[in-house]
Chains A and B, each alone.
Chain A
Amino acid sequence: MSGCALNEKEFFSCCQLLLQQSEHLRDGWSWEAVQGSEEGYLRKTVLRSVLADCYDAQKQKETASDSVSPVSAHPIQELQQQERTQPVVATRFHSDGIIGNDGDEDDAVCVLSEGSSHVLQYEYHILYSCSYSAPVLYFRAFTLEGRSLTLEDVWSSVHPNFRHCLQNSPLTAITQQEHPLLGQPFFMLHPCRTEEFMRPVLQEAQEQPRPVNYVLLWLSVVGPVVGLDVPLKYCTQLHPSSLQRSASDLMSSTVETGVRRFARKTCK
């Protein structure tokens, strides 16, 4: 890896590695090749339920507290591959950036009932930008009836910490763009700052005597911004058990650092 830029061959190798891990974890990534060449992109489709009732309940319950904006209670819960044997619970974004359920009485935890949810299909693509020597995240979303989501609809799936920053900074914002290989409208997270925020993240990761998957690391930073989860297991499952704990520590601390640095860079 030359500095913090990624060349196309490296991108391809990182993607193949990520694919292998995804297959083990059944995380749903696939490789779409262009005309039998090495050129292509990673692709994943996710079904996501949006709890309309819960959103309304949160709005009513709106407190004066700044730490959680009402819109942040908009829950996102992945439905893929799971049998729902129990009601789906709303998950909250906390102001310090950690996603999780908590037991505070103040939080309204809503239970999904049949008929109150909308299921959306999100499609994520990871392409390589030769202009920026970096991976780029493209995505689009549909209702199950086939209606495309607008940019306004999509904002609600953006991590609340980033929503404010991204709206003020058009070049790191989410914009509608033409997919460079398919020619169709997608949303894109602008890549021009990627090298900037990846540099410290990579340096920290490279201090550990272990090879780093640039694409995986990058995805774990930008993915959550647009509601794409990257399970910690990506880091641990190919390592011997003795290294498991340090690998996941590295992953979570790197992600946290990366998320904070990304927020700082985009909010300049």
Chain B
Amino acid sequence: MADDKDVLRDVWFGRIPTCFTLNQDEVTEREAEAYYLLLPRVSYLTLVTDKVKKHFLKVMRAEDVEEMWFEYEGTPLKWHYPIGVLFDLHASNSVLPWSITVHFKNFPDQDLLHCPSSSVIEAHFMSSIKEADALKHKSQVVNDMQKKDHKQLWMGLQNDKFDQFWAMNRKLMEYPTEEGGFRYIPFRIYQAMSDRPFIQKLFRPVSPEGNAYTLGDLLKEMYPAAITNDGEQKRYQVVIHGIEPLLETPLQWLSEHLSHPDNFLHICVVPTPSD
């Protein structure tokens, strides 16, 4: 379907205009200017910010530079979450550009994973894909792929190559027709005001009677507080890739079209803005 393929492209090419400012406590030889960048929603902070690092290193001495990390309004940003998820979760209703503070010292190792190289990002990304396939296909599809196929998925993401990525990823989006969908849907529900980082449980896309479950059905089961009852004021927005899909949308369709390249459907539940 032409329309559905357009959705895949829109998701892949989503961008967030971002302004990177150096933390004012960092020691610099002269004043550091802010750096502006369009960040891909579907990628990871440490994968796309080499230019940011180079920019700020120009005004710093090597001995004042340790592992780079990012923070938004006091919250350290988890590089292992897709960029779009971080934005939707922490800054979805704030004014653009997204203002991120850059740090080179005092890495918060109680909050953030270390990211010493891009191979760590690759391992994390491939691990997510494997886990998603364990849920969708009992790992059969991903295990049937060769090492070079796995590499193609990663290179597609790293080099922003939609066609290269989807040539392989479409195999992970197939299912036996008689099943009506995947075995379980790979999803994570994030809430900003929670100790628990996310909700992830088993959920089938199709009922035993063969009816397609919707986004609303998933939320009713996993996070009922997110659903507004009749007559109530809407307290929460349910955001995927910066939009609020209708709760009637079939979950299987969402999984096939609105998943991130890691094959997970990342769903953010954020408080509705008060104004």
Contact = CB atoms under 8 A, between A and B. Distances in A.
Interface stretch (A173-181, A202-210, A231-239): A173-181
A173 B6 CA distance: 38
Contacts of B124: 175
A185 B109 CA distance: 7
Interface in B55-84: 78, 80
Interface string A228-267: 0000000000000000000000000000000000000000
A184 B134 contact: no
Given A132-B134, A177-B113, A192-B139, A183 B195 contact: yes
Interface string A16-36: 000000000000000000100
Interface string B184-214: 0010000000011110111000000000000
Contacts of A130: 200-202
A178 to B, nearest CB: 6
A97 interface: no
Contact of B131 (A131, A148, A176): A131
Contacts, number: 56
B110 A34 contact: no
A79 interface: no
B114 interface: yes
A115 B99 CA distance: 49
Interface in B76-133: 78, 80, 109-114, 123-124, 126-127, 130-131
Interface residues of B, number: 25
A170 B123 contact: yes
A52 interface: no
A183 B139 contact: no
B135 interface: yes
B197 A178 contact: yes
Nearest to A181: B196
A175 B197 contact: no
B123 A184 contact: no
A42 B260 CA distance: 32
Interface in A151-200: 151, 170-171, 175-185, 190, 192
Contact of A176 (B113, B134, B139, B198): B113
A152 to B, nearest CB: 10
A151 to B, nearest CB: 8
Contacts of B109: 148, 185
A242 B113 CA distance: 50
Contact of B134 (A150, A182, A185, A192): A192
Given A130-B200, A178-B80, A178-B197, A148 B110 contact: yes
A178 B77 CA distance: 13
Contacts of A175: 123-124, 127
A131 B196 contact: no
A131 B112 contact: no
A175 B135 CA distance: 21
Contact of B113 (A171, A178, A192): A178
A176 B134 CA distance: 20
Contacts of A183: 111, 195-197
B78 A184 contact: no
B145 to A, nearest CB: 13
Contacts of B134: 131-132, 192
B111 A184 contact: yes
A130 B184 CA distance: 10
A48 to B, nearest CB: 20
A190 B197 contact: no
Nearest to A146: B110
Contact of A34 (B111, B196, B198): B196
B110 A180 contact: no
Given A131-B135, A190-B127, A184 B114 contact: no
Nearest to B131: A131
A175 to B, nearest CB: 6
A192 B142 CA distance: 12
Give the interface centre of A131, A177, A185, A190 by most chain B CB atoms within 10 Å: A131
Contacts of A182: 195, 197
A147 to B, nearest CB: 9
A131 B263 CA distance: 13
Contacts of A179: 197
A185 B131 contact: no
16 contacts: A34-B196, A130-B200, A131-B134, A131-B135, A132-B131, A148-B109, A150-B114, A171-B127, A178-B197, A181-B196, A183-B196, A184-B110, A184-B111, A185-B110, A185-B112, A192-B134
Interface of A: 34, 130-132, 148, 150-151, 170-171, 175-185, 190, 192
Given A150-B114, A171-B126, 8 more contacts: A131-B134, A171-B123, A176-B114, A178-B78, A180-B198, A182-B197, A183-B111, A192-B131
